[in-house]
Chains A and B, each alone.
Chain A
């Protein structure tokens, strides 16, 4: 990190790695996989120089397990992967949700399913990021749509993970991950760092899963004198497994409550030219770049079109849409998948505006002209 803010040329994966360092990440475990590998390579170099640790594990199951272990040891921990590796991480992602372990997964999406299209852009993991692990669980998913945002959203992801004791996924597409852009990163002193709340009571009073007023319990690190139990079984406030219906309910509902309380803070949404818009494009990731370019063309041809840019996908920022629904005639959702956020938009819209989707799953992006054409068709 340079001392002063200055312009640099870097790709999204580099920016994500810089964001991790700026946020105070001191532990990375990972496994090589295209198109995310640069993040591992950069952090393998940079972490030890900063006194942090890097380990290349035997697979992605081990990678997420290792970052959970390191997080319990008190480190801010992160891994980076792509679709097949993300699939392998799902079971332990659920462990981290239930045991409330702060961690960040950067998933640089490739075309799928299976080995799919390793070097081609896709946004196919939106629903997997939401529901990939089994059982009911809340999740936080951020999606940058520029190289600079790859930095800022990784910082936010680390901070949210620490604050909410919850896994956070940075869902990046291959375009953002590999695109090089001129960015201006803030000096380290200007980067907000949030640290998990640690217990301040004597160890014998500590209940590791007793929620404070914020809905989040203070988290002790192993080795700090608070000897407690961490398990993937449904547990009581002491952390011990329980089959008691009331305690089980409190455990699962408590996971949701803490995220619901933070809902507004967790939802990052930007609006472009929405004030007088009668037509909206809802986009995220690299689709924002095409949508923004299309917006210019559509505005110059006199159409009142705006852009709702989703920085947070989960929890879904439904208020962003609800606010503008009364003035909207049409909504277009361009995505590099078969329509994963489209269905969420459809659900929130509840029949008010006319909604269309524009989808592509062939390893190429949707161009601005295609968006222009589709919006023109809808607004005729």
Chain B
């Protein structure tokens, strides 16, 4: 496997000023690093990768890495990526998005991208909070937990992102945490290879906002919590629902093959051109 210094040399932009914007202890760097290891293991050409993001802490990931990178508006990474993918189907399009970006402001785009089954890999960095704006509750903040806009406890029920995207029709759904780095690499690899819309939900931690206000300890404590609550799908399948309360099932949750959007569109082009050529008088 590629060493850390090789990884930095090969994939980080040499002309971009560092340090990065993330707080000490943040989980985003771990996920980004393992995404790069997955890409390296697949031996993909950097020119063939487009890395698209929305707004928020996660949205800042693309700027540091040496791909075709597109930092879009809040919640809109998926429709930007959809246009790009359809225009350049040969590109591997990866999307990095946070829980607020993907499921609040971008929720409509998320469900429709799932339904459309366009070949894009979406990594959702789920840290249960809006970190960049200082810790407001998000659609995944657990019921009862605190945030700067619900100091007395969150009265809304959270989305289960993996269930949401499964219901919306995603053909590949994987979930893991920023503690389980090998599983993370492995799932991202499989998601990239999957033909169709793939979602990787990564449970991660924001020690600065969510961790502090909910007294979850420091980054190490939060990683330990991820280790404790995660339970692999192979084990979870044999357990009773009651035993799974408070647990997060990890692994590849959904993997199925259905016709992919760009490939189907190629068929439309072929059919439309045949129709045009078969018409008397031709082109109109």
Contacts and interface: CB of A to CB of B under 8 A. Distances in A.
Interface in A145-182: none
A228 B69 contact: yes
Contacts of B73: 65, 91-92, 95, 232
Interface range on chain B: under 10, 10 to 19, 20 to 34, or 35 or more?
35 or more
A223 B82 contact: no
A240 B80 CA distance: 19
A69 B47 contact: no
Contact of A69 (B15, B83, B269): B83
Interface string A203-241: 000000000000000000111110111111100001011
Contact of A58 (B52, B108, B284): B108
Interface stretch (B153-161, B187-195, B197-205, B270-278): B270-278
B109 A58 contact: yes
Interface stretch (A45-53, A114-122, A260-268, A317-325): A45-53
B268 interface: yes
B31 interface: no
B148 interface: no
B245 interface: no
B88 A230 contact: no
A230 B83 contact: no
B56 to A, nearest CB: 13
A154 to B, nearest CB: 18
Given A229-B63, A241-B63, A73 B109 contact: no
B46 A230 contact: no
A61 interface: yes
Contacts of B87: 27, 53, 69-75, 77
Contacts of A49: 269, 272-273, 275-276
B83 A65 contact: yes
B79 to A, nearest CB: 4
A137 to B, nearest CB: 14
A61 B52 CA distance: 17
B68 A228 contact: yes
A313 interface: no
A222 B88 contact: yes
B284 A2 contact: yes
B70 A69 contact: yes
B50 A223 contact: yes
Contact of B82 (A51, A66, A91): A66
Contact of B88 (A3, A74, A91): A74
A269 interface: no
Contacts of A97: none
B4 interface: no
A238 B63 contact: no
B112 A92 contact: no
B70 A62 contact: no
Contacts of A238: 15-16
B79 A57 contact: yes
Contact of A70 (B69, B84, B108, B273): B84
A9 interface: no
Contacts of B183: none
Contacts of A63: 79
A22 interface: no
B48 interface: yes
A29 interface: yes
A221 B52 CA distance: 14
A221 B275 CA distance: 31
B62 A69 contact: no
A230 B71 contact: yes
B153 to A, nearest CB: 32
A48 B265 contact: yes
A194 interface: no
Contacts of B85: 69
Contact of B17 (A3, A72, A228, A240): A240
Contacts of B15: 238
Interface string B60-99: 0011001111111100101111111111101100000000
Contacts of A73: 83-84, 87-88, 91
A229 B71 contact: yes
B168 to A, nearest CB: 11
Interface string B99-131: 000000000110010000000000000000000
Contacts of A66: 79-80, 82-83, 86
B3 interface: no
A68 interface: yes
Nearest to A26: B87
B267 to A, nearest CB: 10
Contacts of B78: 62
Interface string B20-58: 000000000000000000000000001110101000000
B6 interface: no
12 contacts: A53-B269, A61-B109, A66-B82, A67-B83, A68-B80, A68-B83, A69-B79, A69-B84, A222-B88, A231-B70, A240-B17, A241-B63
Given A69-B52, A69-B82, 18 more contacts: A1-B283, A49-B273, A53-B87, A53-B269, A58-B109, A61-B109, A65-B73, A65-B83, A66-B86, A69-B87, A71-B87, A72-B84, A75-B87, A91-B73, A95-B73, A222-B88, A227-B67, A231-B63
8 smallest beta-carbon distances between A and B, as pairs: A69-B83, A73-B87, A66-B83, A65-B79, A69-B84, A62-B79, A48-B272, A70-B87
